[in-house]
Amino acid sequence: MSVIYPRVALIGLGLIAGSMSLAMRRRGLAGEVTGYARSDATRETARRIGLVDRVCDSAAEAVADADLVVLCVPVGAMGAVAEEIAPHLKPGCTLSDVGSVKRAVIDAVGPHVPEGVDFIPAHPLAGTEHSGPESGFATLFDNRWCLLVPEGDVRPEALDRLRALWEGMGAHVDEMEADHHDLVLAVTSHAPHLIAYTMVGVADDLRRVTDSEVIKYSAAGFRDFTRIAASDPTMWRDVFLSNKDATLEILGRFTEELFALQRAIRTGDGEHLFDYFTRTRAIRRGIIEAGQDTDAPDFGRAAKGA
């Protein structure tokens, strides 16, 4: 596969940036990858493990002469970063990001984008419970979806090039409008994360059920919630604060449904419960058939002590 961008700059060096660098390296998609992170410790670690080709000590230095600049910082930090690097962006380059919300990113970054720079927000639907410069890996995006959210005037060739990069890194690519993106992700990601956080918080709070019991007996269903409840707190704080309306809408629907099911339980309405659970099984089938999950027992976790 050939080089898609001679020079790529990654601002922020966490799980996503690290994985992008490794995925680009895997197939030689970039000539040189520079990186910048705000903390000394992160830059030090990134240098030590050779996460990118060159770690810079300022964002301006990292983006100088870059053909693609990707903002990989928490959504709440993107506006300030964009303002700082704007004067240093090469004319004709592409500015992108990997944030989990799109309208807020466009509102924060858009005003700083110079003439002649293509601004193409993006969102790769991939992640793990880990954070930081050592958490990335080359296969993170394989068979995952990446959504491109071009806003305003974007040259078709710039869009094609970014699409080619994400496909080269293993992802399927779709384009989507920003507000629709935020609603879809409220359903498939943001609300589920908040609900998982809440369930884990409730379990933690209960005095009558000890932490060790919750942990020991967590295979009963609870532990699947805990994975996403271990997600990076900074990132998720910013996601909820910046996708407020859509998230609150979904949570509102959720509590309506939950109260209806609670009522069915309280009144002993077995039929309502049975019908509801039968319907949800079909969605699960759809996900397996779409190749987006495995129905191996326990998601294929290796059986221990067999």
Given the structure tokens 């690097």, which residue do they identify? Answer: 85
Element (H, E) at 67: none
Residues of this chain, 238-297, that bind its own copies according to CB under 8 A: 238, 240-241, 244, 247-248, 250-251, 253-255, 257-259, 261-262, 265-266, 268, 270, 273-274, 276-281, 283-287, 290-295, 297
Q: What is the DSSP letter of 294?
A: -
The answer to the question of residue 303 lying near its own copies (CB under 8 A) is yes
* Residues in contact with its own copies, shown as a per-residue x/- string from 127 to 166 under the rule CB under 8 A: -xxx------x-xx-xxxx-x-------------------
User: Which is nearer to its own copies, 90 or 181 (by Cβ)?
Assistant: 181
Residue 91 or residue 290: which is nearer to its own copies going by CB? Answer: 290
| Cβ proximity of 15 and 135 under 8 Å | yes
For residue 246, report the phi and psi dihedrals to the nearest 5 degrees. Answer: -65, -40
Give the integer Cα–Cα distance in Å for 80 and 85: 9
Q: Which residue, 29, 32, 26, is CA-closest to 7?
A: 32
Residues 32-51 that bind its own copies (CB under 8 A): none
Q: Pick one of 41, 49, 80, 215: the residue that binds its own copies (CB under 8 A).
A: 215
Q: How far is the CB of 46 from its own copies (least distance, A)?
A: 20
- Name which of 58 and 292 has its Cβ closer to its own copies: 292
Instruction: Tell me how far, at minimum, the Cβ of 66 lies from its own copies, in Å.
Output: 28
Q: How far is the CB of 63 from its own copies (least distance, A)?
A: 28
Q: Which of 47, 7, 54, 50 is nearest to 29 (CA)?
A: 7
Q: Which of residues 59-98 bind its own copies (CB under 8 A)?
A: 76
Q: How far is residue 160 from each of residues 94, 148, 219, measured CA to CA in Å?
A: 11, 10, 44
Task: Decide if residue 22 touches its own copies (CB under 8 A).
Answer: no
CA distances from residue 71 to 59, 62, 128, 225, 290 in whole angstroms, order as listed: 10, 12, 19, 29, 30
Sheet with 118-120, edge to edge strand ranges: 54-55, 30-36, 5-11, 68-71, 94-97, 118-120
Compute the least distance from the CB of residue 51 to its own copies, in Å: 17
Q: Is 140 helix (H, G, I), strand (E, B) or coil?
A: coil
Query: Which residue lies nearer to its own copies by CB, 61 or 179?
Result: 179
- Judged by CB under 8 A, does residue 1 bind its own copies? no
- Give 7 or 123: the residue with its C-beta nearer to its own copies: 123
Residues 6+ apart with CB under 8 A from 203: 209, 214, 222
Per CB under 8 A, the list member of 90, 154, 187, 207 interacting with its own copies is 187
User: Using CB under 8 A, which residues numbered 111 to 130 contact its own copies?
Assistant: 125-126, 128-130
DSSP 175: E
* Minimum CB–partner distance for residue 146 and its own copies (Å): 10
